[in-house]
């Protein structure tokens, strides 16, 4: 059970104080009306940095250590994130099965939304994206999982993330680190069917050249995701900011939709058994400037990024934002 009020409350108070008036104007509205919105950064690498063991099932912590998840959300909200992602990247039946938790898909996703909701309520209008990652299995014709089974697994996760409807469940959905357009197709269909009222951001992950991992070009993926009914598309994780920017610039030419960019902090290298990521907050700020020039409207980070990276992006968005009143 997540701790009732008090412990979470203490952690999120600072976040409430740092929220800007612009946040209260609804990040989601601005995302879809040409504004630029700040997402959050990594969850799993933050938990590892804070002492979680490498074999921990991060999503199980929604049940066992909700205060640890809330603390990461609070750190991102304090850094200025306007949309935070639930700790549910791997909370689908196939990935949870590896930790013996297949039967807890609903419980784990519900807990994640509850923790995030608790944090944003005190953060003056920031919003919650239900995070959905790949199943971790190859689907037919390249693997053993049928398209129907894949769609059903995504639908189970979406139902739980959306449960309770507006203001209770997630405010939007982010499908991320999608490695194949075929899998994204099933995930989009599941999301549209299970929670048609939720806006849907779909991000592919790409190789160093900016091509999708199933061999599709970024342009082709963008056109397909647009046809499938995504509300915004983009690229996350990948090989760091340069690869993501390469893909985003190609996607821009192939879609009229808002673009999202959330790279990892470069490829990790190990020092004394710890993963280090090479991209600094200053480099992330440079990336954010390039994103603005490329027309990106949702910017955040993935593996290895921290509240300092998000703060650096925020400073760029503040420099470029038209002054808002109220
Ligand atoms: Zn990542």
- HSE-up of 193 (CA within 13 Å, CB side)? 13
Q: How far is the CA of 302 from the centre of ligand 1 (A)?
A: 4
Q: How far is the CA of 149 from the centre of ligand 1 (A)?
A: 25
CB neighbour list of residue 45: distance below 8 Å, 6 or more residues apart: 275, 277, 303, 304, 305
Q: How far is the CA of 205 from the centre of ligand 1 (A)?
A: 9
Query: Which residue would you say has higher pLDDT here, 182 or 123?
Result: 182
Whether residue 8 has pLDDT greater than 80: no
Burial class (CB in 10 A: 0-12, 13-18, 19+), 161: buried
Q: Provide the pLDDT confidence category of residue 25 given band limits of 50, 70 and 90.
A: low
How many Cβ atoms from other residues are within 10 Å of residue 95's Cβ? 22
Whether residue 6 has pLDDT greater than 70: no
Q: Provide the pLDDT confidence category of residue 323 given band limits of 50, 70 and 90.
A: low
Question: Residue 61: which H helix or E strand, with range?
Answer: helix 61-64
How many Cβ atoms from other residues are within 10 Å of residue 85's Cβ? 29
Arithmetic mean of pLDDT, 128-144: 94
pLDDT, residue 54, reads: 84
Alpha helix (H) ranges present in 170-270?
181-194, 218-228, 241-252
Arithmetic mean of pLDDT, 304-319: 97
Whole-angstrom Cα distance, residue 253 to residue 250? 6
Q: How far is the CA of 325 from the centre of ligand 1 (A)?
A: 35
How many Cβ atoms from other residues are within 10 Å of residue 24's Cβ? 13
Q: How far is the CA of 239 from the centre of ligand 1 (A)?
A: 9
Q: How far is the CA of 241 from the centre of ligand 1 (A)?
A: 11
Q: How far is the CA of 131 from the centre of ligand 1 (A)?
A: 12
Q: How far is the CA of 278 from the centre of ligand 1 (A)?
A: 14
Conformational region of residue 191, where left means phi above 0, alpha means psi within -120 to 50, and beta covers everything else: alpha
Q: How far is the CA of 56 from the centre of ligand 1 (A)?
A: 17
For the domain made up of 6-128+222-319, the CATH class stated in words is alpha beta
pLDDT, residue 126, reads: 93
Arithmetic mean of pLDDT, 305-324: 90
Q: How far is the CA of 220 from the centre of ligand 1 (A)?
A: 22
Question: Residue 8: which H helix or E strand, with range?
Answer: helix 6-18
Tens of pLDDT along 264-293? 999 999 988 788 999 999 999 999 999 999
pTM of the model: 0.91
Q: How far is the CA of 208 from the centre of ligand 1 (A)?
A: 14
CB neighbour list of residue 208: distance below 8 Å, 6 or more residues apart: 239, 243
Q: How far is the CA of 92 from the centre of ligand 1 (A)?
A: 17
Q: How far is the CA of 264 from the centre of ligand 1 (A)?
A: 5
Tens of pLDDT along 151-187? 999 999 999 999 999 999 999 999 999 999 999 999 9
Q: How far is the CA of 322 from the centre of ligand 1 (A)?
A: 31
Share of the chain above pLDDT 90, in %: 82
Question: Residues 89, 59: contact at Cβ < 8 Å?
Answer: yes
Q: How far is the CA of 243 from the centre of ligand 1 (A)?
A: 13
Token digits for 147? 């398209």
Q: How far is the CA of 217 from the centre of ligand 1 (A)?
A: 20
Whether residue 326 has pLDDT greater than 70: no
How many Cβ atoms from other residues are within 10 Å of residue 17's Cβ? 11
Question: Residues 237, 176: contact at Cβ < 8 Å?
Answer: yes
Q: How far is the CA of 237 from the centre of ligand 1 (A)?
A: 4
Q: How far is the CA of 120 from the centre of ligand 1 (A)?
A: 23
Question: Residues 77, 84: contact at Cβ < 8 Å?
Answer: yes
Question: Residues 289, 316: contact at Cβ < 8 Å?
Answer: yes
Q: How far is the CA of 137 from the centre of ligand 1 (A)?
A: 17
The rounded mean pLDDT for the chain is 91
Arithmetic mean of pLDDT, 191-204: 98
Q: How far is the CA of 265 from the centre of ligand 1 (A)?
A: 9
Share of the chain above pLDDT 70, in %: 91
pLDDT, residue 1, reads: 43
Question: Residues 279, 304: contact at Cβ < 8 Å?
Answer: yes
Question: Residues 196, 227: contact at Cβ < 8 Å?
Answer: no
Whether residue 252 has pLDDT greater than 50: yes
Distances in Å between the alpha carbon of 258 and those of 73, 171, 249?
24, 17, 12
pLDDT, residue 322, reads: 67
Q: How far is the CA of 43 from the centre of ligand 1 (A)?
A: 9
């Amino acid at each position: 059970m997540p701790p009732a009020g008090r412990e979470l409350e203490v952690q999120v108070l600072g976040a409430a104080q740092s929220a800007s008036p612009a946040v209260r104007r609804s990040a989601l509205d601005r995302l879809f009306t040409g504004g630029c919105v700040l997402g959050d950064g990594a969850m799993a690498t933050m938990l590892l940095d804070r002492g979680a063991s490498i074999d921990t099932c991060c999503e199980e912590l929604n049940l066992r250590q909700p205060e640890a998840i809330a603390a990461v959300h609070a750190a991102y909200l304090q850094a200025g994130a306007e949309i935070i992602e639930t700790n549910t990247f791997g909370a689908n039946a196939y990935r949870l099965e590896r930790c013996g938790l297949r039967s807890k898909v609903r419980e784990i996703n519900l807990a994640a939304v509850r923790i995030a909701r608790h944090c944003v309520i005190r953060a003056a209008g920031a919003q919650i994206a239900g995070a959905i990652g790949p199943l971790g299995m190859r689907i037919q014709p390249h693997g053993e999982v049928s398209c129907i089974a894949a769609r059903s697994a995504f639908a189970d996760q979406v139902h739980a993330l959306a449960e309770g409807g507006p203001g209770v469940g997630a405010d939007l959905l982010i499908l991320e680190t999608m490695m194949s357009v075929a899998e994204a197709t099933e995930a989009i269909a599941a999301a549209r069917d299970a929670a048609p009222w939720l806006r849907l951001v779909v991000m592919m992950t790409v190789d160093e050249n900016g091509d999708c991992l199933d061999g599709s070009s970024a342009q082709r993926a963008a056109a397909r995701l647009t046809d499938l009914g995504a509300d915004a598309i983009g690229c996350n994780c990948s090989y760091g900011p340069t690869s993501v920017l390469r893909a985003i610039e190609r996607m821009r030419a192939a879609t009229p939709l808002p673009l999202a960019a959330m790279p990892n902090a470069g490829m990790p290298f190990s020092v004394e058994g710890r993963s280090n990521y090479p991209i600094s907050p200053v480099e992330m700020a440079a990336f954010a400037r390039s994103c603005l020039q490329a027309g990106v409207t949702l910017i955040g980070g993935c593996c290895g990024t921290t509240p300092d990276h998000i703060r650096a992006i925020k400073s760029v968005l503040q420099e470029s934002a038209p002054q808002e009143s109220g």
